[in-house]
Amino acid sequence: MAAPIAVLAIIGVIAGATFASAAVNAAAERAARNTIKGCIDKRTREVRIIPRSKHCQRGETAITWNKRGRTGATGATGASGATGATGAAGGATGATGATGAVGPTGATGALGATGAVGSTGSGGNTGAVGGTGSAGAPGAQGPTGAAGATGAAGGTGPVGPTGAAGPTGAAGPTGAAGANGVSAVDVTIVTNTSANNSNNKTVTATCTGGRKVVGGGFQTNNVGVGAQASYASSATAWTVDAAEFDLPLNANWTVTAYALCAL
């Protein structure tokens, strides 16, 4: 009977190991679902997100981070809200009571005695009007008085109406002839095309023959590529910095710089 017992023990160990492995795999799968997988470009430090089943490319470093961070500390209690509006008034005022009855009229008081009338004084006689006296002789002229202080300036009067237009003046003499005008600008286009590969590129088109750069631009042969900068890098050169916008393109491409050069 010892052999069957040993066989059962071995089967139990195998089953326990299988269940333990399944539990570990399930925990790993849950952890993977709760994380985000990405790749960092070692040169540009740009980050792109990839599925968990994918791998980073050459020149990139793999990173992962949790979808949900730790629970933050409880925030401070907010300020108390404003006091609510006053509630409506109570019930309506009751009706006014009836007017009370008029009381009886009081008795009329006794009439007082009339006072004695005073005597009227006698009127005085009106005097006669006197005659007009003769005019007196003019007096001597007095000395001139001191000059009074200057009065304050009056306010500015309103603007008067516009006067009628005067006659047209005679034509002036003809001015001297002006200097000769500048001739039309002579513009040429200089181009320079980069190498055909998948790397980010900087390419410069340079004016020659004493010409100065007055403008410029660029052109690529791939829609997934664009210019990070397009500018006059000196008085005689136009520079373009180009890079892939949709990483990765997995294809070679070129960029051409254009310089507008004028004398």
DSSP assignment of 7-47 = HHHHHHHHHHHHHHHHHHHHHHHHHHHTEEEEEEETTT--E
Residue 220, SS3? strand
The DSSP call for residue 248 is -
Integer Cα distance of 23 and 18 in angstroms: 9
User: Which strands, in side-by-side order, build the sheet including 201-206?
Assistant: 201-206, 237-244, 225-234
Residues 36 and 175: their CA atoms lie apart, in Å, by 81
Per DSSP, 223 falls in state T
- pTM comes to 0.33
CA 129 to chain centre: 95
pLDDT in tens, the chain (263 residues): 444 444 334 444 344 444 445 554 566 566 667 789 999 999 999 999 999 889 999 999 999 988 876 777 887 876 876 876 765 665 665 677 687 687 687 677 677 677 577 576 576 577 687 677 677 687 688 787 687 687 676 666 576 576 676 687 687 788 676 454 434 578 999 999 999 999 999 999 999 999 999 999 999 999 999 999 999 999 999 999 999 987 778 899 999 999 999 99
Q: How far apart are CA 204 and CA 215, in angstroms?
A: 13
The residue type found at 106 is: G
Q: How far apart are CA 187 and CA 207, in angstroms?
A: 11
CB 237 within 8 A of CB 205: yes
CB 261 within 8 A of CB 206: no
Q: Are 46 and 247 in contact (CB under 8 A)?
A: yes
User: How long is the chain?
Assistant: 263
- What is the domain partition of the chain in residue ranges? 35-68, 187-262
